[in-house]
């Protein structure tokens, strides 16, 4: 190691920029929620819990925008499939 380093040309911020369409944010999420997502990823044999959380949020948004009739039809189809 050197005794001194020159940071005069250094830049602040993340080393890697987020992928297009992604934003880097700071968010506080309860430990039990994070643990739940990490457990699901482990059970699936690997992956990224953040991707799983992103997918869950996206699905929630899509369902919120889904008309009631479509929601009922989807739920009924799922239940009929389970029952048979």
For residue range 7-16, list pLDDT tens digits in order: 898 888 777 7
**C-beta of residue 56 within 8 angstroms of C-beta of residue 72:** no
Whether residue 54 is predicted with pLDDT greater than 90 in this model: the reply is: yes
- Inform me whether the pLDDT recorded for 66 exceeds 80: no
**pLDDT of 33 above 90:** yes
Distance of CA 62 to the CA centre of its chain: 15
pLDDT of residue 56 exceeding 90, the answer is yes
Nearest alpha-carbon partner for 23 in 36, 14, 31, 32: 14
Task: Record the pTM.
Answer: 0.59
Percent of the chain topping pLDDT 70: 100
For the chain, the domains span: 31-83
């Amino acid at each position: 190691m050197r005794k001194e380093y020159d940071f005069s040309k250094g830049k602040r911020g993340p080393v890697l920029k987020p992928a297009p369409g992604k934003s880097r944010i700071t968010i506080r999420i309860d430990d039990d929620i994070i643990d739940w997502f990490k457990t699901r990823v482990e059970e699936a044999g690997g992956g990224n819990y953040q991707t799983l959380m992103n997918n869950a949020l996206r699905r929630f948004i899509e369902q919120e925008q889904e008309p009631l009739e479509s929601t009922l039809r989807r739920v009924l189809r799922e239940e009929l499939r389970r029952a048979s």
